[in-house]
Structure 1
Amino acid sequence: MTSDKAELQESGAVKSAMRVLDLFEYLGRWGDKTHTEIARELDIPKSSLTQLLKTLVRRGYLIYQPASKGYELGPAIADLARRVGDSTDLVSVAAPVLSWITGETQESCALNFIKGDRSEVVAAVTSPRRLLYHMQSGDSAPLYATSGGKALLAHLPEEMRRDYLSRVVLEPITPNTITTIPALEAELADVRAKGYAQVVEEFTIGIAGVARPVLSASGFPLASLNIAMPIARFEDAARDRCLAVLEKAVADIRHQCGWI
């Protein structure tokens, strides 16, 4: 693609994004406006506006009112706002829970959020043992390669998960990393069935981990809690102990946040 074509494409994308934002701000202030009113007051060609409105209604960001033939902001807007609030509360609620997890297991643990196509550590507590795996806020990894990432990915709404799987490139980070979509899909189905994710040297050689998702009241994966340890200590008894601790930790967080 030539630089001129790229610039035109980027300009068109920015213009479309600006129209969406202008529309949200306009309806947020005035509400219940017809197609004609929106086109006139925001100076958007009617043909372009028709497709934009259809898409936003289908995704739940707008609602069409047949009686007035007007459009209003939809429930998806409120859902986004709730998720921001939930995520903010989650970090403060999770801090003492993370300390409890490490106290119970003597292993490093973390709270992870989805950031684009990656999972990112937003809070962590380090194991007091000499042989340990260190995690800190800001660390990130592909969703498909870590226990925390898989716990998040497996519980995304189907449309979001399919979109991710249709474009992700599975790079072989270690010899154990999953590198085919069918294998990843099968593992994600297993994660949903079992309620937890597990990796053994898929992101870091010598390290294994387990994770459980932290689901909102609506079932959206707001975060995941994971425990990571050297494979020298990753025996069945240790894994089962970690999973039991994570189950209690997730229940505690969801209870404190009012999601159960």
Structure 2
Amino acid sequence: MHEDCYHKMYLNEEHHWWFKSKADIVKELSNFYIGGIDNKKILDAGCGTSFLSKNISNAINNIYNVDNCPISLDYSRKRGMPNVINADLNSLPFADGVFDVGICMDVIEHNQDDQRLVDELARVIKKDGVLIAAVPAMRSLWGPQDKKLGHYRRYGKDEFKKLFEKDFTPLKISYFNFLLFLPMFLLRKIFNVFPNILKERDELDINNKFLNNFLYKIFSFEASLLKHVNFPVGVSLIAVARKK
């Protein structure tokens, strides 16, 4: 991912509906499936600027923030995260079975060999531990923004599910960001036809406070439903899977 993307993320995450919503959804699902994560040893694999991990648990000393980008790790330290580690996610510097929970949000799609990454996450998660992972969904949404962010692919549900078959038992696999799928589909089609729009503005640039709050409320409502239902389509996919 380009360096300017990390800078934008760090500046925007505290108030941007998308990043706040992802933290909410991880908290909702972890509370529902494993009774919360404050007392768990957590790996945030591909932590970015660590906004998510700082906002999902009150026990930040139990969270290990791993990324291979020095800029993202600098921002993680600025957030006050104590366990910040520079490492290749395909070769993690941990013994087998040391984590209760692995979190890998919007990271797998950045890896050419996605199965290798999931296998490595499985190695460091304990038996009966849980992995929470999310990826961008629907190939029909592929566009310049994916290329800008360094994505190799967007996923269908069956393709995503297959990554976990060897080492995990899925507790939940669902599309999410369902309510905004159609607007996002139309927006991506516009970007595909007029890619130069992204030179001046991208999906992180939402400066309208009303719109940002409106989108956050929509997503918060959806997040409250997600633990009970599986959505048929969505901008993203999420999995909660238990280590065999």
Please say whether Structure 1 and Structure 2 have the same fold, judged by a TM-score greater than 0.5.
Answer: no
Query: Which structure has the highest helix share of the two?
Result: 1
Pair member with larger Rg:
1
Name the TM-score, length of structure 1 as normaliser: 0.30
Name the TM-score, length of structure 2 as normaliser: 0.31
Bigger relative contact order, structure 1 or 2 (CA pairs below 8 A, ≥6 apart)? 2
